[in-house]
Amino acid sequence: MLIQAKDLPFRELNRQINAAGEQSVTLQGVMGQRFIASGLKGKDVEINGIPGNALGAYLDGAHITVRGNAQDATGDTMNEGSIRIYGRSGDATGYAMRGGSIYVQGDSGYRAGIHMKAYSAKYPVLVIGGAAGSFLGEYLAGGVIIVLGIGHEAEGKAPVGYFTGTGMYGGKIFLRSAHVPHDLPPQVDVREAAAQDREEAYAHVAQYCAYFGGDPHQLMEHRLLVLTPSEESSYKQLYCAQ
Amino acid sequence: MPKDYIYPEFEIVRNEGRCTVCRRCEEQCANRAHAFDAATSRMTAEDARCVDCHRCVAMCPAHALKIVQSSHTFRPGANWTRDAITDIHRQAGSGGALLTSMGTPKDYPVYWDKLLINASQVTNPSIDPLREPMETKVFLGQKHTHIQRDESGRICTELHPQITLATPILFSAMSYGSLSYNAHESLARAAQELGICYNSGEGGLHEDLYHYGPNTIVQVASGRFGVHPGYLKAGAAIEIKMGQGAKPGIGGHLPAEKVMGDVSRTRMIPQGTEAISPAPHHDIYSIEDLRQLVYTLKEATDYKKPIIVKIAAVHNISAIASGVARSGADIIAIDGFRGGTGAAPARIRDNVGIPIELALASVDARLREEGIRGSISIIAGGSIRNSADVVRAIALGADAVYIATGALLAMGCHLCRSCHLGRCNWGIATQLPELVSRLDPEEGKRRLVNLITAWTYEIKEMMGGMGINSIEALKGNRLMLRGIGLTQKELDILGVLHAGE
């Protein structure tokens, strides 16, 4: 089903998406409407144009494809489903997501993957094809973030901004990078990816290539770093009872 | 280290003549302050373990126990008090931030106690609530300030979503995890019977409590624990927690040892992991960002649920509240700095924020000045101790009040301020099954229902005395209050006259 989104206010646009009888919904001419597919389940939504902030917040199983760039807070607190973005994404992508996956073809803004968490069978995956901004994976509690740095290989630095993984206490960040970020906080351990890590990363890289093209084997022929919380990262040492 | 030795604050006094050595005190104390000495066949006590929770005192069948404050003293001094000295010893020994619980015990002004309530004499007869109908029902949510008509001139009758309360009191947010399951169920059952709401807090909603949904407010905090579309739709309203009166400006932390079993399942995080709520919502750095979160929640729940934004009472509260009122939120909850907590750094709790009385009066005045008071309801919390406080809060401009410490006390809490230790002997702030089972949800419910029923009657009686038969007519009615012993500045902020004026 095709919805002409041009000039539709977000509330009406969402109403039409929810009311659509068909599983598959294509939006044409999206021009910055916010809150698209908030809490949506059981539908495939293709977005042509530029969706506004908070795309797919609390997403509950729907699959979203964006043919363009996404703005801020994509997939906030998403529970299940997938979002793939044929472009770049703004700030706070995948904030507090608990399940499902977000694949960004290009770069992502600040604060991507902050406080993602895993639970039981739910394991959130955030893959950023290009570079990520500062505060990547801050407070990370679970799930996996992969930054591929495609096109940033020659920059002489890791494809991330400042303060990667600050306050991280769970989960894992893969950086396809020849360089270790220069300002990793003490609570983050960094190591070379072992065979098992590479196997785990490969599955997501292959999915990235299936969406956006490219050769996963070739991409994986590169230095791959793994960031995990250090044992000393515990918050337990912080307090004493009064 | 001898330097770190702190003489116990409390002494367990056992009347040996009355003690029958039944060992119930030993069985009841999860802090293991009591023990049986087989050599002498007598009970012994370890004062250092006592938190003054009165469980043993209340359970002793022989009334043989009392807890007294130790008379042991440092050289007395008004500046370097016992607390000031022992805090330094603790921190010098541990290097840790001081952690504590419940509302601040510090001696700050309680403005409620300096506000006197009016009554009618002669000219405006008082009303007897036993004989005449008194309306305490309130609706919380945005109200239309203008009549709107459609193209054909018909009045649009669509209202903003509202919470309906039979009496202007709600149980404020206390998470499952900080509270036991039985405490949560007591609150849920009581809210249902009373026709009011309780608040899930930020730890998600236990699956067995979903059927109390119409009487539940579900909370979304920066940690987003247990937040999913089903949860958002489960309650009567959704509360965005921006701040808490007891710890403005900082986040929350449920220690890993409490994240077990159902708590882990309800929060949707693995067992034995820390539950960290960051200080800010990292997607909210402005009122515009707050508006965005408000609208994602409205979109996710089809505009059927009022959205509450809870903020701590801080210095610029009225400007912040004005922003919140323009964010699309339906209700603002303001939490004063005397409010309780399951765990907070002592320095934050005891020094940050402002009293709810001043915050409430200033917010209500500001929203009126700006002509937007009708676009948002106000819930005031942060140490509402009795029905007279409720009446004063409403007269200062609140639509309803949040109570939590009062509700815990009703369930058996004795305010030992040790929630953060996780060994609540009254079964309230603990996850240890043998302790949780001490609180019967049906009894907890009954006591909460008793409390709110009694308060509601008292509220009606005070309203009747003022010649007011509807709580709506009391709202923001500051003529019903007079200050006693307050400075002109305090009176100006509270918007009340001095007694005798």
pLDDT in tens, B48-85: 999 999 999 999 999 999 999 999 999 999 999 999 99
Average pLDDT over residues A172-180: 97
Helix axes A10-19, B287-300, angle to 10 degrees: 20
With cut-offs at 50, 70 and 90, classify the pLDDT of residue B279.
Answer: confident
Nearest CA distance, A161 vs chain B (angstrom)? 17
Model ipTM value: 0.93
Any A CB within 8 A of B257 CB: no
- What pLDDT sits at residue A7? 93
Q: Do residues B311 and B317 lie in contact, with contact meaning Cβ atoms separated by under 8 Å? A: yes
CATH code for the structural domain at A2-239: 2.160.20.60
Any A CB within 8 A of B90 CB: yes
Supply φ then ψ for residue A19, to 5 degrees: -80, -15
- What pLDDT sits at residue B146? 85
pLDDT > 70? residue A233: no
Q: Do B292 and A167 touch (CB under 8 A)?
A: no
Average pLDDT over residues A26-46: 96
- pTM, two decimals, is 0.95
Q: Which fold has domain B10-96?
A: Alpha-Beta Plaits (3.30.70)
Residue type, B207: E
The CATH class, in words, for B115-498 is: alpha beta
Among candidate residues B160, B158, B272, B165, the one with its CA nearest the CA of residue B215: B165
Any A CB within 8 A of B49 CB: no
As a whole number of angstroms, the longest Cα–Cα distance in chain B is 93
Return the SS3 of B157.
Answer: coil
pLDDT > 80? residue A236: no
Mean pLDDT value across chain B: 96
Among candidate residues B158, B131, B55, B141, the one with its CA nearest the CA of residue B423: B55
Q: Which of A58, A115, A237 sits opposite B296 (nearest CB)?
A: A58
With cut-offs at 50, 70 and 90, classify the pLDDT of residue B31.
Answer: very high
- What pLDDT sits at residue B316? 96
Q: Strand B42-45 vs strand B163-165: parallel, antiparallel, or unpaired?
A: unpaired
List all residues of chain A from 163 to 222 with a beta carbon under 8 Å from chain B. Answer: 167, 169-170
Residues 6+ apart with CB under 8 A from A152: A130, A131, A159
Q: Do residues B209 and B190 lie in contact, with contact meaning Cβ atoms separated by under 8 Å? A: no
Q: Specify which residues B23 forms β-bridges with.
A: none
- What pLDDT sits at residue B501? 95
Any B CB within 8 A of A43 CB: no
Q: Do A138 and B282 touch (CB under 8 A)?
A: yes
Q: Which of B95, B273, B293 sits opposite A141 (nearest CB)?
A: B273
Q: Do residues A28 and A46 lie in contact, with contact meaning Cβ atoms separated by under 8 Å? A: no
Boundaries of CATH 3.30.70.20 in chain B? Answer: 10-96
Q: Specify which residues B309 forms β-bridges with.
A: B240, B332
Nearest CA distance, A47 vs chain B (angstrom)? 18
Q: Cα torsion for B479, B480, B485, B486, to the nearest 10°?
A: -50
Find which of B99, B106, B207, B224 to mutate to test the A interface (most A CBs within 10 Å of its CB): B224
Sign of the torsion angle spanned by Cα atoms B403, B406, B411, B414: positive
Return the SS3 of B312.
Answer: strand
- What pLDDT sits at residue B1? 66
User: How is chain A split into domains, by residue range?
Assistant: 2-239
- pLDDT exceeding 90 applies to what percent of chain A? 92
pLDDT > 80? residue B110: yes
